[in-house]
């Protein structure tokens, strides 16, 4: 299968961000920097947030303090009761300069995703500032009650979060070919957690600075830093949990029941198929864990199955191994939903949950294709298509074919 051609969408997003940044920087250089103490205070806050950023997939908002500071500056209309004059261009320029300064250590370490992160930061801040600053400068907010002002800020932040979600989902859709709708829903679902707290903190910061001045920034930064620390600890626990499951999955390989790397390959390919079919984040997590442990029932066998290839066994034997595997998974304390998927991977596909359908088809493909030689994958796919009458779900097989044709497997399965 030849890999898909790179999509221009990420480059277009980077080009748009670069254009906005260049225009705003040129405007500030030409007109000068207004209210330098305010710009410096917010710049320091954003740079500190970038320095504490954790470039990891486990943390959805990797720089919550920087994000809150950037949004707060974009939505700042007053400082201690005095109107501000920084405008859209300066808001973007200050946030960009501070973000670049704070990202220097990450760039030096070669962390991936820094350019994408900065592009999204520039475009979301520009969106928020364009929506707020002209209206404030025209006096639209002056006659509004305090609670109406706050509600409008929160509504604007919700629109900004939607813009950020679109900017995150579009490149993922372009690179992987996964459906855009489920990717966007997953981004929005993830924003219910720490991202909503970040947006709310940004709004509160802007309102507090308008009343009491810049002293509000350190006051509201401390709770956000503590929240960031707690969230990272939670992410570390999840990572350890996933590592434990991956280690359990390797037990069949160490014991010689399955070929080395089989469980990881099935989990990676299953995850890609699940994303192509539009599964949500929690569903993908269950799918990943079940795929890693789908062969663990073979540890109960006296005589190992040759090469661990269970797809060619009689249906009754496949079901017995699946039930044994489910019993083992239940003993490990893993989510019961994972055990259900493992137990039902040998059932007729009409009676299976989606995750079990995916694992059954992907496992059969992996077992048959690994020794099929060059071009053998196409023959195996045709064999699976012929089995869609009773063994394999047609939509899963077609999704598997699409994933293989794109030639890219993006997985969060750990080693």
Domain boundaries, the chain: 9-237, 250-406
What is the spatial distance between Cα 24 and Cα 99, in angstroms, rounded to a whole number?
15
* Average pLDDT over every residue of 155-163: 85
Assign 3-state DSSP to the chain and report helix, strand, coil percentages, each to 5: 75, 0, 25
pLDDT for residue 157 is more than 60: yes
pLDDT for residue 61 is more than 80: no
Per mean pLDDT, which range of 77-91, 118-132, 237-251 is the poorest?
Answer: 237-251
| Residue position matching structure tokens 């080009």 | 15
Q: pLDDT tens digit string along 256-309?
A: 777 888 888 899 899 989 988 888 878 888 999 988 888 888 877 766 676 656
Q: Which has the higher per-residue pLDDT, 27 or 245?
A: 27
Quickly list DSSP for 10-24: HHHHHHHHHHHHHHH
Two structure tokens written together for 276: 């192509």
Q: What is the pLDDT of residue 332?
A: 77
Two structure tokens written together for 16: 């748009």
What is the spatial distance between Cα 3 and Cα 335, in angstroms, rounded to a whole number?
35
Asked if residues 169 and 180 have their Cβ atoms less than 8 Å apart, the reply is yes
Closest CA to 413 of 253, 289, 273: 289
What is the spatial distance between Cα 354 and Cα 66, in angstroms, rounded to a whole number?
39
pTM of the entire predicted model: 0.73
Q: How many residues does the chain have?
A: 415
Strands 82-83, 78-79: parallel, antiparallel or unpaired by DSSP? antiparallel
Q: How far is CA 166 from CA 4, 38, 249, in A?
A: 22, 31, 36
Closest CA to 280 of 408, 379, 392, 192: 192
- Residue 78: beta bridge partners? 83
Q: Which has the higher per-residue pLDDT, 34 or 314?
A: 34
pLDDT for residue 1 is more than 50: no
pLDDT for residue 59 is more than 50: no
Q: Which has the higher per-residue pLDDT, 136 or 73?
A: 73
* Average pLDDT over every residue of 311-332: 80
Burial (0-12, 13-18, 19+ Cβ within 10 Å), 6: exposed
Q: What is the pLDDT of residue 52?
A: 79
| Fold category of 250-406 in CATH | Hypothetical protein af1432 (1.10.3210)
Q: pLDDT tens digit string along 206-216?
A: 888 888 888 88
Q: What is the DSSP letter of 82?
A: E
Q: What is the pLDDT of residue 314?
A: 76
What is the residue-averaged pLDDT of the chain? 80
* Average pLDDT over every residue of 127-131: 91
| Number of other CB atoms surrounding residue 117 within 10 Å | 20
Q: What is the pLDDT of residue 138?
A: 74
* Local confidence band at 411 (pLDDT 50, 70, 90 cut-offs): very low
Two structure tokens written together for 52: 């504490």
Q: What is the pLDDT of residue 349?
A: 79
């Amino acid at each position: 299968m030849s890999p898909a051609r790179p999509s221009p969408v990420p480059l277009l997003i980077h080009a748009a961000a670069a254009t906005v940044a260049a225009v705003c920087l040129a405007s500030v250089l030409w007109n000068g920097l207004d209210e330098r103490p305010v710009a410096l205070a917010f710049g320091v806050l954003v740079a500190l947030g970038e320095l504490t950023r954790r470039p990891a997939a486990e943390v959805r908002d990797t720089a919550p303090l920087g994000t809150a500071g950037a949004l707060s500056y974009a939505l700042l209309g007053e400082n201690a009761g005095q109107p501000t004059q920084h405008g859209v261009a300066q808001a973007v320029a200050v946030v960009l300069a501070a973000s670049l300064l704070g990202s220097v250590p990450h760039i030096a370490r070669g962390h991936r995703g820094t350019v994408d992160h900065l592009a999204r930061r520039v475009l979301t801040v520009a969106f928020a500032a364009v929506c707020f600053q002209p209206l404030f400068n025209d006096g639209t907010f002056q006659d509004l009650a305090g609670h109406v002002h706050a509600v409008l800020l929160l509504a604007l932040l919700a629109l900004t979060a939607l813009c950020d979600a679109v900017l995150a989902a579009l490149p993922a859709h372009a690179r992987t070919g996964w459906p855009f709708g489920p990717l966007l829903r997953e981004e929005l679902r993830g924003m219910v957690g720490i991202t909503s707290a970040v947006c709310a903190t940004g709004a509160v910061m802007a309102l507090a600075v308008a009343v009491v001045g810049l002293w509000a920034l350190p006051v509201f930064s401390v709770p956000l830093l503590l929240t960031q620390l707690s969230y990272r600890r939670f992410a570390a626990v999840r990572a350890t949990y996933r590592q434990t499951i991956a280690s359990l999955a390797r037990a069949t390989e160490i014991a010689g029941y399955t070929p080395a790397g089989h469980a990881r390959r099935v989990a990676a390919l299953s995850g890609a198929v699940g994303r192509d079919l539009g599964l949500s984040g929690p569903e993908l997590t269950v799918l990943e864990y079940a795929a890693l442990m789908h062969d663990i029932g073979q540890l109960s066998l006296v005589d190992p199955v040759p090469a661990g290839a269970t797809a060619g066994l009689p249906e009754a034997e496949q079901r017995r191994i699946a039930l044994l595997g489910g019993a083992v998974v239940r003993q490990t304390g893993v989510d019961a939903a994972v055990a259900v998927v493992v137990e039902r991977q040998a059932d007729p596909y009409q009676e299976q949950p989606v995750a079990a359908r995916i694992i059954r088809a992907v496992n059969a493909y992996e077992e048959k294709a690994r020794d099929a030689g060059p071009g053998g994958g196409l023959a195996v796919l045709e064999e699976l298509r012929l089995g869609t009458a009773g063994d394999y779900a047609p939509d899963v097989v077609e999704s598997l074919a699409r994933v293989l044709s794109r030639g890219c497997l993006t997985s969060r399965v750990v080693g």
